[in-house]
C-alpha cells in the first residue's frame, strides 16, 4: 500500500501531530468550560441603588436594593432592576468573550461560543423572543 518507508513515516507523523492537536484542544476546551462555569456578571445603576449579580447562565443570583428605592415609584425601581440585570449580563458576556478568546484564540469555535452566549444573554430587543 505504501510506496516506501518515508511515506509511511510521514503519514505516521501527521497522524501523531493531529492526535496531539486534538488532545491539546480538548484540554483547552475542558479548562474553558470550568472557567466559564465560575463566571458571574455584576452591575449597578448610576445612583447605586440597585446592584445585580447573574450566574454563568445569566440568571439572577443576587439583588441588592438600597433603602433609597423606598422613595421612588415601584415601576421605576422595576425598570432599574431590569436595566441593571441587562448590564450584568453584558458584563458576563464580556468575561465569556475574554475567556473564550484567551483559551481558543481567534478560532471559529471561540466565536461560536461568544455568539451563543450573546444570543441568550442579550436577545435582540425587537425580536419576538425578547417579548415572551
pLDDT tens figures, 27-48:
888 889 999 999 999 999 999 9
pTM as predicted: 0.77
> Percent of the chain at pLDDT above 90?
61
pLDDT of residue 109: 87
pLDDT of residue 128: 46
pLDDT of residue 2: 52
pLDDT of residue 19: 81
Phi, psi of 59 (to 5 degrees): -85, 140
pLDDT of residue 1: 53
User: 125 or 104: whose pLDDT is higher?
Assistant: 104
User: 7 or 72: whose pLDDT is higher?
Assistant: 72
Q: Nearest CA to 32 among 114, 115, 131?
A: 114
Q: Is the per-residue pLDDT at 125 higher than 60?
A: no
pLDDT of residue 95: 97
Q: What is the mean pLDDT of residues 59-76?
A: 97
Q: What is the mean pLDDT of residues 6-35?
A: 84
Phi, psi of 57 (to 5 degrees): -95, 0
131 DSSP assignment:
G
Please provide the CATH number assigned to the domain covering 5-131. Answer: 3.30.1310.10
- Torsion sign over Cα 93, 98, 99, 105: positive
Amino acid at each position: 500500500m505504501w510506496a516506501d518507508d518515508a511515506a509511511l513515516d510521514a503519514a505516521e507523523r501527521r497522524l501523531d501531530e493531529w492526535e496531539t492537536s486534538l488532545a491539546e484542544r480538548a484540554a483547552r476546551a475542558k479548562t474553558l468550560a470550568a472557567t466559564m462555569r465560575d463566571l458571574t456578571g455584576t452591575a449597578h445603576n448610576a445612583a447605586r441603588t440597585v446592584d445585580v449579580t447573574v450566574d454563568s447562565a445569566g440568571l439572577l443570583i443576587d439583588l441588592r436594593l438600597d433603602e433609597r428605592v423606598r422613595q421612588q415609584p415601584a415601576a421605576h425601581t422595576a425598570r432599574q432592576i431590569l436595566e441593571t440585570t441587562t448590564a450584568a449580563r453584558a458584563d458576563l458576556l464580556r468575561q465569556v468573550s475574554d475567556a473564550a478568546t484567551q483559551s481558543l484564540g481567534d478560532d471559529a469555535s471561540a466565536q461560536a461560543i461568544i455568539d451563543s452566549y450573546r444570543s441568550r444573554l442579550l436577545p435582540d430587543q425587537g425580536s419576538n423572543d425578547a417579548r415572551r
